[in-house]
Amino acid sequence: MRTLFVNGTIVTAEGSYAADVLVDGEVIAQIGAGLAASVTADEVIDATGKYLIPGGIDAHTHMKLPFGGTFAKDDFETGTRAAAFGGTTTIVDFAVQNKGQSLHEGLDTWFAMAEGMAVADYGFHMIMSDVTDATLAEMDALVDEGVPDFKLFTAYPGVFYSPDDHIFRALQQTAKNGGLILMHAENGPVIDILAAEQIAKGVTDPIGHGLARDSRMEGEATSRVIRLAEVAGAPVYFVHMSAKEAVEALVAARARGAMAWAETCPQYLYLTLDDLGHGFEGAKFVCSPPLRTPDHVAALWSAVENGDLPLIGTDHCPFDFHGQKELGRGDFRKIPNGLPGVEERVDLMHQGVVDGRYSKERWVSLVSTTPAKMFGMYPKKGAIAVGSDADLVVYDPSRKHVLSASTHHMDVDYSCYEGQTVQGGSDVVMSRGSVIVRNGEFTGRKGAGKFVKRGRADFARAI
Ligand code: URP
Ligand code: ZN
Ligand code: ZN
């Protein structure tokens, strides 16, 4: 199958220009002006007035994550389909090693969930719940098998939490094997005390979640882990950064040459602590770290604008309000943590272009190219170049649409952005040469998505 995209503006992280793109099979075969005159194609897609961008890459999703006695609602079929509607053609999901399991046992469970289900491509990070001599040795094998990064937590005592010595040993291992440690940085043990104090004061509604998870405890954990990484001689990457104190720690560390990186997520740029505050409705907005006050939001936007936060994941982890978030009625500590968002990321970040915060090239970098580089997929993914996978989106920068649970494709009964209008939308979405979304209709196939074997975290070793 050969597809020719004509009359569009190619937008990449490096620049924008008018050119046509020929896709042959699963890859980009030619790029040039006026290709229609010289090549044949089975289908010609007219992108007049539209951008042609590399497919979005969301390197932070949790399909079917077990949390708080339930499971995140989207599976790999519904989750990657929703992602595709929103212009994202690759996800990197977090496989979970439960305590007592080997890393491979956890990873195999995630392979079994994704294979035959995903409609678009996927990779895996590995959540490490147990740092032992055996799992440290297994990390080396995973790096070679295309799963080169490992998430550890200073949060969630008794579940995913790792003490400092475990984190340090894992960092030392990646210093040797070329992998990357991803950190959820919040001081979990202290937050548990603060949360119990909220309950003792009678604050049982979701607002207690936001009040207990003090931003300084994200800043503290971030600077502590950066110091551990510096001593270990390893790079470190912070997921879902939400606090200005954490950004300050990151910026200071990078200034002294530490190999420290971070992402943030749209919810921390668009939503605030106030969203947690409308009685139990606020449960819809319970995630960790929590939504924060506008001063944090402003600090995050600045960091996105100036490049301190160079990429955006979603932390997509959807739980229905009815029946799942409701598990925490009467005690906010029992509300499953996580928000839906895989479908909305590309459009929400396009608002930064619409609002004049950054260029359209930076937008492509935030949602596709830098994730590809950071997570060992570039230039197979995240690029419009001859030989790259034909993951392409015809993006209409002018089309306005309203975000709503009644129209979204995520398998969850609410939207965090209900009723909000965004400008920009994905008209045609191609995954490795096949159109999987066309003008609001799904045209892909369950099981067509393939595992992406990713390279070592070389990019994270630069500063
Ligand atoms: O609230 C969140 N973030 N849920 C997903 C698990 C995690 O910590 O990323
Ligand atoms: Zn986390
Ligand atoms: Zn997460």
State which ligand 1 atom lies nearest to the alpha carbon of 288. Answer: 1
| Rounded distance from Cα 191 to ligand 1 centre (Å) | 15
State which ligand 1 atom lies nearest to the alpha carbon of 239. Answer: 9
Domain membership flag for residue 451? no
Q: CA neighbours within 13 Å on the CB side: how many for 218? A: 26
Cβ(287) – ligand 1 distance below 6 Å: yes
Domain membership flag for residue 461? no
Distance of CA 112 to the CA centre of its chain: 21
| Rounded distance from Cα 289 to ligand 2 centre (Å) | 7
Per-residue b or e along 378-394, where b marks 16 or more CB atoms closer than 10 Å to that residue's CB: bbbbbbbeeebbbbbbb
Please answer whether residues 132 and 103 qualify as being in contact, where contact means their C-beta atoms are separated by less than 8 angstroms.
no
Please answer whether residues 386 and 23 qualify as being in contact, where contact means their C-beta atoms are separated by less than 8 angstroms.
no
Question: In sequence order, which ranges of 145-214 are alpha helices (DSSP H)?
Answer: 164-177, 188-200, 207-212
Per-residue b or e along 208-222, where b marks 16 or more CB atoms closer than 10 Å to that residue's CB: bbbbbbbbebbbbbb
Domain residues for the domain of 204 are 55-376
| Rounded distance from Cα 315 to ligand 3 centre (Å) | 4
Who contacts 431 (Cβ-Cβ below 8 Å, separation ≥6)? 55, 84, 89, 119, 120, 121, 391, 444, 448, 449
Please answer whether residues 420 and 407 qualify as being in contact, where contact means their C-beta atoms are separated by less than 8 angstroms.
no
DSSP 8-state class, residue 389:
B
Domain membership flag for residue 30? no
Q: Which of 288, 292, 331, 329 is nearest to 202 (CA)?
A: 331
| Rounded distance from Cα 176 to ligand 3 centre (Å) | 26
Per-residue pLDDT of the chain (463 residues; tens, 9 = 90+): 999 999 999 999 999 999 999 999 999 999 999 999 999 999 999 999 999 999 999 999 999 999 999 999 999 999 999 999 999 999 999 999 999 999 999 999 999 999 999 999 999 999 999 999 999 999 999 999 999 999 999 999 999 999 999 999 999 999 999 999 999 999 999 999 999 999 999 999 999 999 999 999 999 999 999 999 999 999 999 999 999 999 999 999 999 999 999 999 999 999 999 999 999 999 999 999 999 999 999 999 999 999 999 999 999 999 999 999 999 999 999 999 999 999 999 999 999 999 999 999 999 999 999 999 999 999 999 999 999 999 999 999 999 999 999 999 999 999 999 999 999 999 999 999 999 999 999 999 999 999 999 999 999 999 8
Q: Based on the structure, what is the number of domains in the chain?
A: 1
Cβ(456) – ligand 1 distance below 6 Å: no
Across 201-312, where does the E strand assignment appear?
236-238, 260-264, 311-312
Across 25-146, where does the E strand assignment appear?
27-32, 43-46, 51-54, 56-61, 66-67, 70-71, 88-96, 121-127
Instruction: Write down the pLDDT at residue 363.
Output: 99
Q: CA neighbours within 13 Å on the CB side: how many for 388? A: 25
Between 215-232 and 188-200, two packed helices, what is the crossing angle to 10 degrees? Answer: 170
C-alpha 232/C-alpha 176 separation (Å) is 10
Q: Which amino acid is at 330?
A: G
Ligand (nearest to CA of 185): 2
C-alpha 220/C-alpha 161 separation (Å) is 16
C-alpha 243/C-alpha 220 separation (Å) is 10
| Rounded distance from Cα 159 to ligand 2 centre (Å) | 12
Domain membership flag for residue 263? yes
C-alpha 386/C-alpha 225 separation (Å) is 40
Cβ(365) – ligand 1 distance below 6 Å: no
Domain membership flag for residue 163? yes
Q: Domain with 369 in it: what CATH number?
A: 3.20.20.140
| Rounded distance from Cα 457 to ligand 1 centre (Å) | 23
Domain membership flag for residue 282? yes
Instruction: Write down the pLDDT at residue 463.
Output: 85
C-alpha 171/C-alpha 167 separation (Å) is 6
Domain membership flag for residue 210? yes
Query: Ligand 1 atom 2: the closest Cα is on which residue?
Result: 338
C-alpha 211/C-alpha 196 separation (Å) is 11
For 299-352, the DSSP string reads HHHHHHHHTSS-EE---B----TTTTGGGGTT-GGGSPP-B--TTTHHHHHHHH
Domain membership flag for residue 392? no
Please answer whether residues 357 and 376 qualify as being in contact, where contact means their C-beta atoms are separated by less than 8 angstroms.
no
Query: Ligand 1 atom 8: the closest Cα is on which residue?
Result: 288
Length of the chain: 463
C-alpha 314/C-alpha 348 separation (Å) is 11
State which ligand 1 atom lies nearest to the alpha carbon of 151. Answer: 9
Neighbours of ion ligand 2 (CB under 5 A): 184
C-alpha 408/C-alpha 296 separation (Å) is 28
Q: State whether residue 142 is helix, strand or coil.
A: helix
